[in-house]
Amino acid sequence: MIGIFDSGVGGMTVARAVEQLLPEQPLLYLGDIARTPYGPKSAKTIEEYSIENAQFLIDNGAKVIVIACNSASSVATNRLRKECNIPVFEVITPAVEQAVAQSVNGKIGVIGTRATIESGLYEKLIMEKRSNSTVISKACPLLVSLVEEGWLDKRETKMILRRYLSFFKDHQIDTLVLGCTHYPLLTNLISHRIGKRVQLIDSSKTVALYLQKNLLSQGTLLPVPGHSPEKNKYYVTDLTKTAQRMADKIFNRSIDLLQA
């Protein structure tokens, strides 16, 4: 069973991609709604929350962990790999590989939470893979709460995005990494604002491909014939109506959200 966690509903964009690519693979999700957002918190706190989330998934049968949160991926991956005795996947490396491969002019923008941007990990990994790149990063701390609230198409969300994305105006980026798993839910607004010539990197599908490649080649997880995504389990640390509404919307079906 694949265990996936995020600070809230954003990681469901990753779970959705994993379900689509690996429908016969049982999946267990934990959204830490009670403590969202992670981005403004310290690395130490995000690390502690991540360990607790991983432990919940392991206790409930996960054999592989996916950190479907860039904030946690940037500050807690090493500790999780050290303390969990099972494979731990993060979402930053796949996004970096995709961005580096797809950018033509090497000018790559990254948007993410404060924790992710302040960690400097995207910049470091992009420069390691392609040293002639220019990386322009911008923290967009308000976006996670707007998505958790379901404000995906509100005027206020558009205004805030305009303000954040104007930062990239004079940088001629041709690629923008959505360095937060909540942001793919704002793809249309972001694309409209940043312009169609800038390609957006949503790493969810790449993460799913990564899992498929690694798990199948190592034989870590075999598909379970007869399993279907409807049997996957979706937990949250606080069962709210808003989270339920968002889960149904993200998966485009009725999800039976459970209290962790």
Please give the residue ranges that form the binding site for ligand DGL (CB under 6 A): 6-8, 10-11, 36-39, 69-71, 113, 116, 144, 180-182
- Record the tokens describing residue 143, joined without a space: 């976006």
CB of 222 to ligand DGL, least distance (A): 29
Catalytic residue, candidates 180, 207, 221, 247:
180
153 burial (CB, 10 Å; 0-12 / 13-18 / 19+) is exposed
Tell me how far apart the alpha carbons of residues 151 and 248 are, in angstroms, rounded to a whole number. Answer: 15
Question: Is the CB of 221 or the CB of 237 nearer to ligand DGL?
Answer: 237
Question: Is the CB of 19 or the CB of 202 nearer to ligand DGL?
Answer: 202
- Known catalytic residue: 180? yes
CB of 29 to ligand DGL, least distance (A): 13
Instruction: Reduce the secondary structure of 96-112 to three states and give it as a string.
Output: HHHHHHHCCCCEEEEEE
Question: Is the CB of 71 or the CB of 98 nearer to ligand DGL?
Answer: 71
Please, are residues 108 and 133 in contact by the beta-carbon 8 Å criterion?
Answer: yes
Q: Helices (DSSP H) in the chain: which residue ranges?
A: 12-21, 43-59, 70-83, 92-102, 114-119, 121-129, 143-148, 155-165, 187-194, 204-218, 241-251
CB of 7 to ligand DGL, least distance (A): 3
- Known catalytic residue: 69? yes
Question: Is the CB of 76 or the CB of 221 nearer to ligand DGL?
Answer: 76
CB of 13 to ligand DGL, least distance (A): 8
Compute how many other C-beta atoms are within 10 angstroms of the C-beta atom of residue 40. 15
Catalytic residue, candidates 69, 110, 161, 250:
69
Positions annotated as catalytic residues are 69, 180
